Amino acid sequence: MPDFARRDWALFTGRRIKQRLQPVKPFSVCWLLSSFAVAPHLKFSLWRGLFIIVAMAREYSFEWSLNLQSSPEMLWPFVADTNRFNHDAGLPAVRAAQNASNARAGTKRLRFSLLGLLVEWDEYPFEWVYPYRFSIHRLYLRGPFREIRVQAEMTPLAEGGTHLRYQVRFAPAWPLIGDAAILWQVGVVSRFRFLQVFREYDRLAQRGASQFDIPGAARFAPGGRQRLESARQAIVAEGEPRVFERLAWLLEHADDLALQRLRPYQLADLWNLPRRAVLEAFLRAARAGVLDLRWELLCPSCRGAAETHATLGQVHSHLHCTSCGIDFSVNFDRQVEAVFRPNPAVRVLPEMYQFCVSGPQSQPHAVLKAQLQPGDETILSPVLQAGSYRFYASGLPGELPVSVCEEGQDAVTLTLRPEGWPETELRLTPRPLLRLQNASEQTQFVRLERTAWRDDAATAADVTALQVFRDLFSREALRTGEEIAIGSVTLLFTDLRNSTRLYRQIGDAPAFGRVRQHFEVLQQAVAAEGGAVVKTMGDAVMAVFRQPVAALRAVRSAHTALSRLQGNPALAVKFGLHTGPCIVVTLNERLDYFGSTVNIAARLPGLAEGGELVFSGEIKNDPEVQTWLQQNGVQPVWFQANVKGYDQPFDLWRMWV
């Protein structure tokens, strides 16, 4: 059992001690001139050569530390968000270098320009251990440095709070005479700014604030405020008025970086408002020209946006992530996320506004990332939460499933061998001590990550199942011929009983009026529960929901509303519900669903009586449905029936609504 002292030791010694700077660059004219300026008395070329080598091998190291009041866990979302940190510390925006494909193996070639000076470097992937430490290593091609290593460490203090230690080690590229300027810039200017930013983050963490509370030099576009105000009615509609107030505050006060990518569910959680209300208000705001809707296609490995598109019509079903070098198929309920940013008519944001491309917070699902050279050994102690994780290494086949629970192992040695991971699942405590050894012949990038997808993404599956989206963005559809999978969706089919008799009894025009009235009732009930009507076929309706229980509630309220309708004969509707995977395609210029789930769902109303709902075992077994049935005292009746096209009879349930 590791004791506490050993844990603290592991925090500090977990990294490789051996750190070698890059070999000296080739001789340059600049260096020769510098050596003449600094040491004119050195006449002999041998001595001059030695001087140059010594001068070029010089390396500086700074270490800044301060105590903060918040815990490492509270500080991590701010401090490890290196994109935000570099922005707040006043560093310039970065972009991929033009010759990015020439970058060293395993690095990204990036650049920025500072006061007209072009700085270009190859960046190794960040390494980190949540919530204690992260580091970065850059090798420069242009600019004042040859090499930089940065490491931030946050150690919990016994009396609460955090001791933050920030180390910068660098080798200058400029001749000796430039050192004073570099040392002034790093040792004085950067130190002042960095420590100021850390203290500000501590204050934000203390009051439970988020990056949206960081005040910026925000300004509306000319006429932006008026546009926002005049869209108020359209954005609020019948929805939650507080969303508009919050959104207006954000557009007026939040800084440019926070507004680059607005995620409606994340904001809803932050604002303590219902997620659907915020998503619907954002969709209305996008229709009203206050926000722009964009679709991000997320890589299943790094979970970063591999592509971003303005419309669904630009989405391909197969993609490539350049960061990870992998191909993947797009799935509507995982990989396609709806994000928003202000419309330039309301607030102008700078384009290409990125300050760090791959810090720890760009992959918040990864709690540990470490590089191990062949023969390396490291001890790491991340903080984990109960649940499923997996170990993954860039150079090993497969992955190692990890489950985190109180009964798990406290200390584990994992040896990376070329044949791959052990076959059994690893069980760990929430604060394990991990010894990693690289027994393979190649460098390994090891990652420990949560397997669950974050549930705060408004996915395309969610958005396209909303009536508000279908009403406002009826033109949003996939490219013809494109098919995108959707892991799980609930489909409702309805059918009007005896409609032929209705037309014969009361005549075509009155009958059609009543049929249309019944469509309206159904549509309202579906929309009220967060679903959407996909289409009507004769007297039948096909609707889609993200959750089975929402469909169940919609069926009940539709039935209640229908039974209140005046007229003779009374209308009786048959309902069928099923849930499962589908594919999404565009048919007749609208998003439609296809596959076995649809075929089965479409047959179910045919097995029901008027005022009755028939549903499948998949619906019945849903935990939320079971709770709903219990709470409403409903006991569905089991029966078996054949569904056209299937040999085996289906287990089905029927209930009066």
In order of 95, 303, 531, the CA distances from 323 in angstroms are 14, 10, 36
- Cβ at position 369, least distance to Zn ion in Å: 13
Tokens found for residue 341: 């940013």
- Cβ at position 225, least distance to Zn ion in Å: 39
SS3 280: helix
For position 167 contacting Zn ion by CB under 5 A, the verdict is: no
- Contact indicator for 292, 310 with CB cutoff of 8 Å: yes
- Cβ at position 86, least distance to Zn ion in Å: 21
Among 126-134, 283-291, 298-306, 340-348, the segment contacting Zn ion (CB under 5 A):
298-306
Whole-angstrom Cα distance, residue 465 to residue 486?
12
Subset of 44-83 contacting Zn ion (CB under 5 A): none
- Chain centre distance of CA 252: 25
> Given the complex with Zn ion, which of 247 and 356 has the nearer CB atom?
356
Rounded to whole angstroms, the maximal C-alpha distance in the chain is 115
> Given the complex with Zn ion, which of 311 and 323 has the nearer CB atom?
323
For position 301 contacting Zn ion by CB under 5 A, the verdict is: yes
- Contact indicator for 268, 275 with CB cutoff of 8 Å: yes
> Given the complex with Zn ion, which of 301 and 536 has the nearer CB atom?
301
- Cβ at position 447, least distance to Zn ion in Å: 12
First-residue to last-residue Cα distance in the chain: 59
- Cβ at position 301, least distance to Zn ion in Å: 5
- Cβ at position 96, least distance to Zn ion in Å: 15
- Cβ at position 98, least distance to Zn ion in Å: 22
- Cβ at position 110, least distance to Zn ion in Å: 17
In order of 468, 516, 524, the CA distances from 521 in angstroms are 16, 9, 5
> Given the complex with Zn ion, which of 325 and 633 has the nearer CB atom?
325
> Given the complex with Zn ion, which of 301 and 498 has the nearer CB atom?
301
Whole-angstrom Cα distance, residue 421 to residue 437?
12
Per CB under 5 A, the list member of 171, 268, 302, 315 interacting with Zn ion is 302
- Cβ at position 304, least distance to Zn ion in Å: 6
Of 602, 337, 290, 297, give the one whose Cα is nearest residue 464: 337
- Cβ at position 614, least distance to Zn ion in Å: 43
> Given the complex with Zn ion, which of 228 and 299 has the nearer CB atom?
299
Among 320-328, 363-371, 415-423, 500-508, the segment contacting Zn ion (CB under 5 A):
320-328
> Given the complex with Zn ion, which of 302 and 446 has the nearer CB atom?
302
Q: Which helix (H) or strand (E) holds 35?
A: helix 29-38
- Contact indicator for 510, 562 with CB cutoff of 8 Å: no
For position 330 contacting Zn ion by CB under 5 A, the verdict is: no
Whole-angstrom Cα distance, residue 280 to residue 273?
12
> Given the complex with Zn ion, which of 299 and 485 has the nearer CB atom?
299
- Cβ at position 329, least distance to Zn ion in Å: 14
For position 323 contacting Zn ion by CB under 5 A, the verdict is: yes
Whole-angstrom Cα distance, residue 333 to residue 490?
13
> Given the complex with Zn ion, which of 323 and 442 has the nearer CB atom?
323
- Cβ at position 325, least distance to Zn ion in Å: 8
> Given the complex with Zn ion, which of 293 and 319 has the nearer CB atom?
319
In order of 10, 34, 116, 315, 386, the CA distances from 302 in angstroms are 27, 45, 33, 19, 22
Among 316-324, 348-356, 366-374, 475-483, the segment contacting Zn ion (CB under 5 A):
316-324
Whole-angstrom Cα distance, residue 187 to residue 350?
30
Per CB under 5 A, the list member of 66, 91, 218, 324 interacting with Zn ion is 324
Among 202-210, 324-332, 459-467, 567-575, the segment contacting Zn ion (CB under 5 A):
324-332
- Contact indicator for 619, 577 with CB cutoff of 8 Å: yes
- Contact indicator for 109, 96 with CB cutoff of 8 Å: yes
Among 279-287, 291-299, 410-418, 508-516, the segment contacting Zn ion (CB under 5 A):
291-299
> Given the complex with Zn ion, which of 321 and 522 has the nearer CB atom?
321
- Contact indicator for 576, 653 with CB cutoff of 8 Å: no
SS3 237: coil
- Cβ at position 395, least distance to Zn ion in Å: 17
Cα torsion 497, 656, 552, 241: sign: positive
Per CB under 5 A, the list member of 262, 321, 434, 461 interacting with Zn ion is 321
Size of the site for Zn ion (CB under 5 A): 6
For position 577 contacting Zn ion by CB under 5 A, the verdict is: no
Residues 6+ apart with CB under 8 A from 264: 275, 278, 279, 282, 338, 340, 458
Of 176, 97, 179, give the one whose Cα is nearest residue 142: 97
Q: Which residues of 479-507 are buried (b: 16+ CB within 10 A; e: fewer)?
A: eeebebbbeebbbbbbbbbebeebbeebe
- Cβ at position 426, least distance to Zn ion in Å: 24
- Contact indicator for 346, 354 with CB cutoff of 8 Å: no
Among 318-326, 425-433, 448-456, 530-538, the segment contacting Zn ion (CB under 5 A):
318-326
Tokens found for residue 375: 């023969």
- Contact indicator for 602, 578 with CB cutoff of 8 Å: no
Phi-psi region of 398 (alpha: psi -120 to 50; beta: other; left: phi over 0): left
Of 222, 351, 220, 227, give the one whose Cα is nearest residue 289: 227
Among 143-151, 314-322, 618-626, 649-657, the segment contacting Zn ion (CB under 5 A):
314-322
Whole-angstrom Cα distance, residue 172 to residue 361?
29
Of 540, 535, 500, give the one whose Cα is nearest residue 518: 540
> Given the complex with Zn ion, which of 324 and 348 has the nearer CB atom?
324
For position 488 contacting Zn ion by CB under 5 A, the verdict is: no
> Given the complex with Zn ion, which of 124 and 170 has the nearer CB atom?
124
Angle (deg, nearest 10), helices 623-631 and 548-564: 40
- Cβ at position 331, least distance to Zn ion in Å: 15
- Cβ at position 267, least distance to Zn ion in Å: 25
What does R_g of the chain's alpha carbons equal in angstroms?
A: 30
> Given the complex with Zn ion, which of 301 and 599 has the nearer CB atom?
301
> Given the complex with Zn ion, which of 167 and 323 has the nearer CB atom?
323
* Chain residue whose CB lies nearest Zn ion: 299
- Contact indicator for 369, 128 with CB cutoff of 8 Å: yes
> Given the complex with Zn ion, which of 302 and 591 has the nearer CB atom?
302
For position 299 contacting Zn ion by CB under 5 A, the verdict is: yes
- Cβ at position 239, least distance to Zn ion in Å: 35
Among 126-134, 165-173, 321-329, 434-442, the segment contacting Zn ion (CB under 5 A):
321-329
> Given the complex with Zn ion, which of 42 and 324 has the nearer CB atom?
324
Tokens found for residue 33: 């001139």
Subset of 496-555 contacting Zn ion (CB under 5 A): none
- State the residues that interact with Zn ion by CB under 5 A: 299, 301-302, 321, 323-324
